[in-house]
Chain A
């Protein structure tokens, strides 16, 4: 007989605690992350003032850290979609405590990632020229450009994922509303959209969530496919690859799951959620990460083998620079972090503990960043005409901005956990009720739920 589930009162108490009470640690962490963000803002201001030349980009490596970060964060944003939408669609019961933290990652990673194409512009103050707004000169953006597709796809995904994060949160916002007073109560009343928990409201909410879950999956797949087309649509060696679409989607989901595991491990410690984020969740997500690791390796193998076997000179130059040339240390670190270490830590059951999965997730996140870097820079450093080959090294500006945006992501996440329950209260309670019903402990519905906090 397993341990009894936490009671609904216990759930409310545990999961609403971070919202209703704030410790000094929160302020300290906010300050630290805020300072990092400030440093990044200053670095960016300096870059705008002096010109983009203060970054390490050069002729012919015109894209480097910023675009790497862009692709990386858009990849991380795929955590929410897969875990939440797919697991919700297949009705996997263990998803319940992790959907919201996944969906929040999606939204914040998108917010951070979508800044980078603007940071990287030569004239960032003119980024709005990519928006198809009516203007007196009748100039439209160029819809043939993959960057335009990107712009559209990411905006669609951001709107979709914010909606998808918000919808299942409505009943929980009402729960917070009912437990707070004053200004806080006013704000949460507004956010809860007058949720009363009637049968009609539950019915509509459920339908809306199912519709969004179905819609968000193809949107997510298309987003990272389109990001890959920024590269695959060009003529450049080792960029013009037909498998880049699915390769990037797989890599995105891979890094997304890793980011989710990391976020869960941190939340579990900081918010004391040991009761809710259990070894089972890390075990299941660890297996999923292992699967994605194998899939990633398969795509990488297919990609590199064909290039090597083709023996086409322009491509081979890039290939060699990666596997045995200047970028080889990064390449083999990527291989270790994305495949070898996860294989060991996640493949052996004894090592697939919470710590084990968290370590594997960390190496995957780092290695996936390297993977994006290795796709972008070596190709640009080796153009077809050998006379103009070049190298790239980042400057302090790029490094500060990169670190600062990681802090920015953490800060957004931290503030989110302060304002909203990071675990979906009602979904969790519903899950426990279903389990209890299955073990034939007849609990009257009215007794199990507070008024309107659970689906009748």
Chain B
């Protein structure tokens, strides 16, 4: 059985937020309007965190896209009283919207704060309401939602592969964020296949995981940003290592 995982190369991420826009379009994530967003009611399954380093004028921005880490040891799962969030056999951390009663305990116990609550019934600014994705259910008021690793795309490709009596090919499944990324910073695939791109990239010396010390075992692996200025990264590895395994 496949083990879906993701690698995000921070060296390639430019912070353009194409992934954020693509995710919103693919997954029918509602828009809440300026006023509600200011109140902290925005929903964005993937976000690009921006950290500024240094003193003016020598300031550098660092970006890190953060989405549900699909932890193998997910803190959100045991706390749900009604099993609305659970681990599916392929290792995805799944949110069952119909089952969710809205205790919001999962969001509180997520160290990555990537769970989003529908404070109101879903709504979209014109003309976004005309482009809803028919493959993704719309979430009602009072339930939790979050990144699914584009489970609808995974299932679609799995169905096609099954019809053609073959295995899913590496790179055949692309979540919306990975597809939209112009710098190809996001790679998705099956980590149980040692030759897949996620496996190869995931073995890079630049690898790290977000809040690794908590022991949540995230399925998203980040590749540390190279120090472009020195031409070497922190491990002394030459630039372009990650590109060479492609």
Q: List CB contacts (< 8 Å) of A120-149 with chain B.
A: 120-124, 126-127, 129-130, 139-142, 144-148
Q: List CB contacts (< 8 Å) of A214-249 with chain B.
A: 230, 233-236
B24 to chain A, nearest CB (A): 16
Whether A122 and B78, one on each chain, are in contact in the complex, defined by CB atoms closer than 8 angstroms, is no
Q: Considering the chains assembled together, what is the distance between the CA atoms of A145 and B121 in angstroms?
A: 27
Q: Is B141 an interface residue (CB 8 A)?
A: yes
Please give, as numbers and ranges, the residues of chain B lying within 8 Å of A60 by CB-CB distance.
40, 107, 113
Q: Is the interface of A mostly helix, strand, loop or mixed?
A: loop
Q: Considering the chains assembled together, what is the distance between the CA atoms of A163 and B201 in angstroms?
A: 64
Given A121-B142, A147-B79, A234-B79, residue A52 in contact with residue B105 (CB < 8 A): no
Q: Is B124 an interface residue (CB 8 A)?
A: no
A91 to chain B, nearest CB (A): 41
Whether B82 and A51, one on each chain, are in contact in the complex, defined by CB atoms closer than 8 angstroms, is no
Please give, as numbers and ranges, the residues of chain B lying within 8 Å of A151 by CB-CB distance.
81
A233 interface neighbour in B36, B79, B140, Cβ under 8 Å: B79
Q: Considering the chains assembled together, what is the distance between the CA atoms of A387 and B79 in angstroms?
A: 24
B103 interface neighbour in A147, A235, A384, A391, Cβ under 8 Å: A147
Whether B81 and A235, one on each chain, are in contact in the complex, defined by CB atoms closer than 8 angstroms, is no
Given A122-B143, A385-B112, A388-B113, residue A235 in contact with residue B102 (CB < 8 A): no
Q: Considering the chains assembled together, what is the distance between the CA atoms of A70 and B20 in angstroms?
A: 37
Q: Considering the chains assembled together, what is the distance between the CA atoms of A424 and B99 in angstroms?
A: 47
Whether B119 and A53, one on each chain, are in contact in the complex, defined by CB atoms closer than 8 angstroms, is yes
Proximity bits, A374-395, B CB within 8 Å = 1, else 0: 0000001001110110110000
Chain B: CB-nearest residue to A118: B101
Whether B142 and A123, one on each chain, are in contact in the complex, defined by CB atoms closer than 8 angstroms, is yes
Q: Considering the chains assembled together, what is the distance between the CA atoms of A127 and B142 in angstroms?
A: 12
Whether A384 and B211, one on each chain, are in contact in the complex, defined by CB atoms closer than 8 angstroms, is yes
Please give, as numbers and ranges, the residues of chain B lying within 8 Å of A391 by CB-CB distance.
40
Please give, as numbers and ranges, the residues of chain A lying within 8 Å of B107 by CB-CB distance.
59-60, 62
Q: Considering the chains assembled together, what is the distance between the CA atoms of A126 and B75 in angstroms?
A: 23
Whether A122 and B109, one on each chain, are in contact in the complex, defined by CB atoms closer than 8 angstroms, is no
Whether B83 and A122, one on each chain, are in contact in the complex, defined by CB atoms closer than 8 angstroms, is no
Please give, as numbers and ranges, the residues of chain A lying within 8 Å of B40 by CB-CB distance.
58-61, 390-391
B119 interface neighbour in A52, A63, A130, A236, Cβ under 8 Å: A52
Whether B103 and A129, one on each chain, are in contact in the complex, defined by CB atoms closer than 8 angstroms, is no
Which range holds the interface residue count of chain B? 35 or more
Chain A: CB-nearest residue to B107: A62
Q: Is B104 an interface residue (CB 8 A)?
A: yes
Q: List CB contacts (< 8 Å) of B77-129 with chain A.
A: 78-83, 99-105, 107-109, 111-113, 116-121
Given A147-B81, A234-B109, residue A59 in contact with residue B41 (CB < 8 A): yes
Chain B: CB-nearest residue to A61: B40
Please give, as numbers and ranges, the residues of chain B lying within 8 Å of A3 by CB-CB distance.
none
Q: Is A181 an interface residue (CB 8 A)?
A: no
Please give, as numbers and ranges, the residues of chain A lying within 8 Å of B101 by CB-CB distance.
121-124, 126-127, 129-130
Given A122-B117, A236-B109, A385-B113, residue A145 in contact with residue B78 (CB < 8 A): yes
A62 interface neighbour in B75, B108, B141, Cβ under 8 Å: B108
Q: Is B25 an interface residue (CB 8 A)?
A: no
B75 interface neighbour in A63, A130, A230, A235, Cβ under 8 Å: A235
Q: Considering the chains assembled together, what is the distance between the CA atoms of A236 and B105 in angstroms?
A: 12
Please give, as numbers and ranges, the residues of chain A lying within 8 Å of B79 by CB-CB distance.
144-147, 233-234
Q: Considering the chains assembled together, what is the distance between the CA atoms of A371 and B80 in angstroms?
A: 25
Q: Is B246 an interface residue (CB 8 A)?
A: no
B116 to chain A, nearest CB (A): 7
A108 to chain B, nearest CB (A): 24
Give 20 A-B pairs besides A122-B101, A385-B49, A385-B211 with Cβ atoms closer than 8 angstroms.
Answer: A50-B120, A53-B36, A59-B40, A59-B41, A59-B117, A120-B103, A121-B102, A122-B141, A127-B101, A130-B81, A130-B101, A140-B83, A141-B81, A142-B81, A142-B82, A147-B103, A235-B109, A384-B113, A385-B112, A385-B210
List 9 A-B pairs, minimum CB-CB distance, nearest first: A122-B102, A122-B142, A53-B119, A58-B40, A62-B104, A51-B120, A387-B49, A123-B142, A147-B81
Q: Which residues of A are in contact with B by a Cβ distance under 8 Å?
A: 50-53, 57-63, 117, 120-124, 126-127, 129-130, 139-142, 144-148, 151, 230, 233-236, 380, 383-385, 387-388, 390-391
Q: Which residues of B are in contact with A by a Cβ distance under 8 Å?
A: 36, 39-42, 47, 49-51, 66, 75, 78-83, 99-105, 107-109, 111-113, 116-121, 140-144, 210-211, 214
